[in-house]
Amino acid sequence: MPLDKKTLLDAVKEAKAKSGQKKFNQTVDFILDIKEIDMKAPEGKITEVVELPHVSAKPNKICVIATGELAFKARRANVDNVVERADLEALAGKKKDLRKIASGFDVFISEAPLMPTVGKVLGPALGPRGKMPIPIPPNADIEALISKYRKTVLVRMRNQPVIQMSIGTVDQSDEDLTDNILAVLRVLEGKLKRGLKNVDVAFIKTSMGSPVKIKP
């Protein structure tokens, strides 16, 4: 089966049907097994932030690293956390606190002048997780950026030829979830050496449900 919209839509419906009745809003994952790729070459190392067309009920938690007016505007935009310069410097060497902040947020946005300090202090915790901050100028429209990054997903392949990401939640419509998958596939088509021909098999799975297999 090709990875076209109808095939994906049918697979989403089947995965949701197999999710069972749970007392929480399950996430929906899209998983790709990749073939015919050299994991030691640059093609085997993919890290892309993809903006999805539809935000889920579990939007990304965002941490903004900023000072002055930018920090004020970020708080006014109800961002999940703001780390100012003094807070950042106080984190230096505190491995437990660094791990906590690295795992507690999905996206990090940093005022560009702070990036050297961010790299030194937070880099060892964020780098391996593919969460290095997005640098922005002090006069950036932080409200618009927060809105944008609420609905992004990290598409990453490291060490193993597998790509997995959450593309929404079961309470979203089948069409919205399918649109989100297609947005990811459009990016991967330009990143994989042979495009989607490098996809061996794909799966759609809810948190507690059985995976639905799609063979391109």
Domains of the chain with CATH codes: 5-57+152-214 (3.30.190.20), 62-149 (3.40.50.790)
pLDDT tens for each residue of 38-87:
888 888 889 888 999 998 878 899 999 999 999 999 999 999 999 999 99
Phi, psi of 209, deg, nearest 5: -100, 175
User: What's the rounded Cα separation, in Å, for the pair 84 and 207?
Assistant: 36
From the list 51, 48, 26, 35, the residue with the least C-alpha distance to 205 is 26
- 0.85 exceeded by the pTM? no
User: What's the rounded Cα separation, in Å, for the pair 98 and 35?
Assistant: 36
CB count within 10 Å of CB 156 equals 16
pLDDT tens for each residue of 102-134:
999 999 999 999 999 999 999 999 999 889 999
Residues in contact with 107: Cβ distance below 8 Å, sequence separation at least 6, in sequence order: 49, 60, 61, 62, 63, 131, 134, 149, 152
CB count within 10 Å of CB 126 equals 20
One-letter amino acid at 168 equals G
pLDDT tens for each residue of 145-197:
999 999 999 899 988 999 999 999 999 999 999 999 999 999 999 998 889 99
Structure tokens at 53: 């067309």
